[in-house]
Amino acid sequence: MVIVIQCADRTGLVSAITAVLAANKLNIVSLREYVDQTENRFYMRLEVTEQFDAVLLETEFQQVLPAGALISINPSPNKKIVLLVTKEYHCLTDILVKNYFNSLGATVAAVIGNYPTLQDICRRFDIPFFLVSHENKEHATFESEITEVIQQYEPDYIVLAKFMRILSPDFVAGLPMRIINIHHSFLPAFIGANPYRKAFERGVKLIGATAHFVTNDLDEGPIITQQTIPVNHSQVTADMVKAGKEIETSVLAKALRLVFDDRVFVYRNKTVVFDW
């Protein structure tokens, strides 16, 4: 059983939480906790061996934790996700392979693409693909059609696996901290389109990728994880794009593992991540 807790910090929280578990004869096999002293915020993730009445346990925790505590007990071990894609295949295929071999930590319910480019690969993996074109449509109509498909599946998360369209504030507001994006730069550098060309023109010596939750501020949502790789003067934009695809795949895969395993806490525009 997994327990995740986020609340205002105060003295004795760890003792109070573990006392509740001990009183119910629940044995702790893993415990990670962190206090953000600047925000006076407490975070904890526990794993216990036995199963227990989640409603009763949450009630007991609420009695010993500060008001407004966020508590999740035994969240779904296998999340359901819907992917949004455009034309690039590298992130999508990595997710589909992991899904096929049951190593994703989630189930891919469907893929929505605004071009038919990736329909065949989804068919090969027996994953429903919905073509929702953005062409010759109002943006609101385009997003409404996407929303209709998403609502059929009631996913835990939406993953933008190289979905190259900007989502409106209304769309994002309907799925708060449930949309995960992979951006092809080491944010906050090179926000927006064509980051590899911008990196080449700037002459940087590192390029990277960032997985983050989507908010109304373009490419500025809470960061889940990032990685970089070195580049040099001999590499042109095309070389950076090729190298970047590999790191994008790796970064998104790691971010999804962390989120699906309930290791990511969001507070305001920052995250606390209990890595492996």
User: How high is the pLDDT of residue 77?
Assistant: 82
pLDDT score for 129: 98
**pLDDT for residue 192 is more than 90:** no
Quickly state the pLDDT bin for 203 (edges 50, 70, 90): low
Whole-number Å distance between alpha carbons of 228 and 168: 29
Examine the pLDDT at 191 and tell me if it is beyond 70. no
211's tokens: 């997985």
pLDDT of residue 74: 87
How confident is the model over 128-144, as a mean pLDDT?
A: 96
Per-residue tokens: 35: 């206090």
153-162 pLDDT per residue, tens: 999 999 999 9
Q: What is the arithmetic mean of pLDDT over 250-260?
A: 97
Q: What is the pLDDT of residues 205-229, one digit of tens each?
A: 677 789 999 998 877 899 999 988 7
CA–CA distance, 268 with 70 (Å, rounded to integer) = 14
Q: What is the pLDDT of residue 147?
A: 98
Structure tokens at 60: 């007991």
Closest CA relative to residue 44, chosen from 67, 64, 18, 20: 18
- The active-site residue, picked from 9, 120, 170, 219, is 219
Residue 33 has pLDDT above 80, yes or no: yes
Task: Return the pLDDT at 229.
Answer: 77
Q: Which pLDDT score, from 0 to 100, does residue 207 have? A: 73
Give start-end residues of each CATH 3.30.70.260 domain in the chain.
Answer: 2-73
pLDDT at 231 over 80: no
pLDDT at 130 (0 to 100): 98
Model pLDDT, residue 218: 76
Residues carrying CATH 3.40.50.170, the chain? 79-273
| Pairing of β 157-160 and β 179-183 | parallel
Q: Which residue, 212, 215, 272, is CA-closest to 248?
A: 212
What pLDDT is stored for residue 204 in this prediction? 67
Residue 219 annotated as catalytic: yes
Which CATH superfamily hosts domain 79-273?
Formyl transferase, N-terminal domain (3.40.50.170)
By residue count, the chain amounts to: 276
- CATH class of the domain defined by 2-73: alpha beta
